[in-house]
């Protein structure tokens, strides 16, 4: 048993075009964890500006992620919903972690390589140290569990490396100040990456991740798509010509088919194996309409609620302000402990 109280933390960037991958891989699962855990859900606006964001769009996108959280069933009173830049501890702890993380560790991050592309010299320094800020997000709340999609696994491993190095470098000081349990000052956070849709793929190419920046729009189901758009995208989704197999093994080497079955399973809250049992032998001309009906039934109410909330920016901003205050109340003593441990002097406690 960990000495740390269980707490869930996760975040989504307000970088536009929330899609089915964000929903199934992250936001839907955030909502599900509320019945068993204390949950803190962040709109990570400081991560978003590691690449250029139009300022007016950014503010709308921050409200949109918050409304997606609420529309997907996250309770802004029971859980905490806030945006990162309103709690200054994220930036402060990220600086300390920039001094803990090694260049070599950051150099290995595949997301940086993908996002920076060929022109690495021209990437922002923020994009390079992005994982230190992510570790700060999590550890500022001593979070023990972090639900994310598969693509974030490497960043969570780095978070554990940073926590371990901090605990180890300052072990004597942590003991002297009596600030740590058996594990140290920070917990070894567990990634929560489970279920049939931890990596939702493009509808146009089952070997590529569905992403916010995918072109064309047909590759991605947006959370705000209406029933017609969903139906069209599923109808045009790439498939092969074989019927569905009866067993999971039969989906090997069939990435487009595996993707659609995985999406179906996640939306229906069941397993890929069960979907195949039910649809064994089905051709895509029969399976696709079933998938459309299911996707519309599950996603349309979310889109409706997001539209309703988007018309009420005052409410959303109230939720974010209240969340920031409650988040700050947890973060403040954790950050104070870090300052004491590191030896930064603060006379205003």
Where on the chain is the footprint of ligand TRP (CB under 6 A)?
9-11, 13, 44, 47, 134, 137-138, 146, 148, 152, 155
φ, ψ of residue 48 to 5 degrees: the values are: -60, -40
Task: Name the CA radius of gyration of the chain, rounded.
Answer: 21
Residues 6+ apart with CB under 8 A from 117: 123
Q: Does 151 bind ligand AMP (CB under 6 A)?
A: yes
Q: Does 152 bind ligand AMP (CB under 6 A)?
A: yes
Token digits for 120?
A: 């690495």
Identify what 138 binds: ligand AMP, ligand TRP, none; CB under 5 to 8 Å per kind: ligand TRP
Q: How far is the CB of 86 from ligand TRP (least distance, A)?
A: 15
Q: How far apart are CA 164 and CA 262, in angstroms?
A: 35
Nearer to ligand TRP, 113 or 308 (CB): 113
Write the DSSP assignment of 29-51 as a string of letters.
HHHHHTTTSEEEEEE-HHHHTTS
CB 189 within 8 A of CB 143: yes
Token digits for 160?
A: 């554990």
Q: Does 66 bind ligand AMP (CB under 6 A)?
A: no
CB 37 within 8 A of CB 145: yes
Residue length of the chain: 349
Residue 209 annotated among the catalytic residues of the structure: yes
Residues 6+ apart with CB under 8 A from 55: none
Task: Using the structure block, give the residue that is written with the tokens 């570790």.
Answer: 135
Nearer to ligand AMP, 163 or 210 (CB): 210
Q: Which residues 5-24 are close enough to bind ligand AMP by CB under 6 A?
A: 12-13, 21-22
Which entry of 115, 165, 236, 339 is annotated as an active-site residue? Answer: 115
Query: Regarding beta strands 190-192 and 145-147, do their DSSP bridges make them parallel or antiparallel, or are they unpaired?
Result: parallel
For residue 102, give the 3-state DSSP assignment: coil
Among the listed residues 26, 74, 258, 276, the single contact to ligand AMP using CB under 6 A? 26
Q: How far is the CB of 31 from ligand AMP (least distance, A)?
A: 13
Closest residue (Cβ) to ligand AMP?
A: 25
Q: How far is the CB of 198 from ligand AMP (least distance, A)?
A: 6
Query: Site mask, ligand AMP, residues 224-253, x = CB under 6 A?
Result: ------------------------------
Residue 339 annotated among the catalytic residues of the structure: no
Q: How far apart are CA 278 and CA 282, in angstroms?
A: 9
Q: Which residues 187-226 are close enough to bind ligand AMP by CB under 6 A?
A: 198-200, 209-210, 212
Exposure string of 60-70, with b = 16+ CB inside 10 Å and e = fewer, is: ebbbbbbbbbb
Which entry of 153, 212, 236, 339 is annotated as an active-site residue? Answer: 212
Identify what 9 binds: ligand AMP, ligand TRP, none; CB under 5 to 8 Å per kind: ligand TRP
Q: Does 158 bind ligand AMP (CB under 6 A)?
A: no
For residue 9, give the 3-state DSSP assignment: strand
Q: Does 332 bind ligand AMP (CB under 6 A)?
A: no
User: Which residues are part of the catalytic machinery?
Assistant: 115, 209, 212
Note the residues at the interface with ligand AMP (CB under 6 A): 12-13, 21-22, 25-26, 148-149, 151-152, 198-200, 209-210, 212
């Amino acid at each position: 048993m960990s000495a740390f109280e269980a707490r869930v933390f996760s975040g989504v960037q307000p970088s536009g075009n929330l899609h089915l991958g964000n929903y199934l891989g992250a936001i839907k699962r955030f909502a599900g964890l509320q019945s068993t855990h204390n949950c803190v859900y962040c709109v990570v606006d400081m991560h978003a500006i590691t690449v250029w964001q139009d300022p007016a769009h950014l503010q709308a996108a921050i409200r949109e992620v918050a409304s997606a959280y609420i529309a997907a069933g996250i309770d802004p009173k029971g859980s905490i919903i806030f945006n990162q830049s309103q709690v200054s501890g994220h930036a402060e702890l990220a600086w300390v972690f920039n001094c803990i993380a090694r260049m070599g560790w950051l150099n290995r991050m595949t997301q940086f390589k993908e996002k920076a592309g060929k022109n690495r010299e021209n990437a922002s320094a923020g994009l390079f140290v992005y994982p230190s800020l992510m570790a700060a997000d999590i550890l500022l709340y001593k979070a023990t569990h972090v639900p994310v999609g598969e693509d974030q696994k490497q960043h969570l491993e780095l978070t554990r490396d940073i926590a371990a190095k901090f605990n180890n470098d300052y072990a004597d000081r942590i003991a002297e100040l009596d600030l740590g349990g058996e594990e140290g000052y920070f917990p070894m956070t567990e990634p929560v990456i489970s279920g049939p849709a931890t990596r939702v793929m493009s509808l146009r190419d089952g070997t590529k991740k569905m992403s916010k920046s995918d072109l064309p729009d047909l590759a991605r189901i947006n959370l705000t798509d209406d029933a017609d758009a969903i139906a069209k995208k599923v109808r045009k989704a790439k498939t092969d010509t074989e019927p569905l197999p009866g067993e999971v093994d039969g989906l090997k080497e069939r990435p487009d088919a595996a993707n659609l079955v995985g999406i179906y399973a996640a939306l229906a809250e069941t397993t890929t194996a069960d979907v195949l049992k039910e649809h064994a032998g089905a051709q895509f001309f029969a399976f696709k309409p079933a998938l459309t009906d299911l996707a519309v039934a599950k996603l349309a109410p979310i889109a409706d609620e997001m539209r309703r909330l988007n018309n009420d920016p005052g409410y959303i901003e109230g939720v974010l302000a209240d969340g920031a205050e409650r988040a700050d109340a947890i973060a403040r003593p954790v950050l104070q402990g870090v300052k004491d441990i590191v030896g930064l002097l603060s006379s205003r406690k």
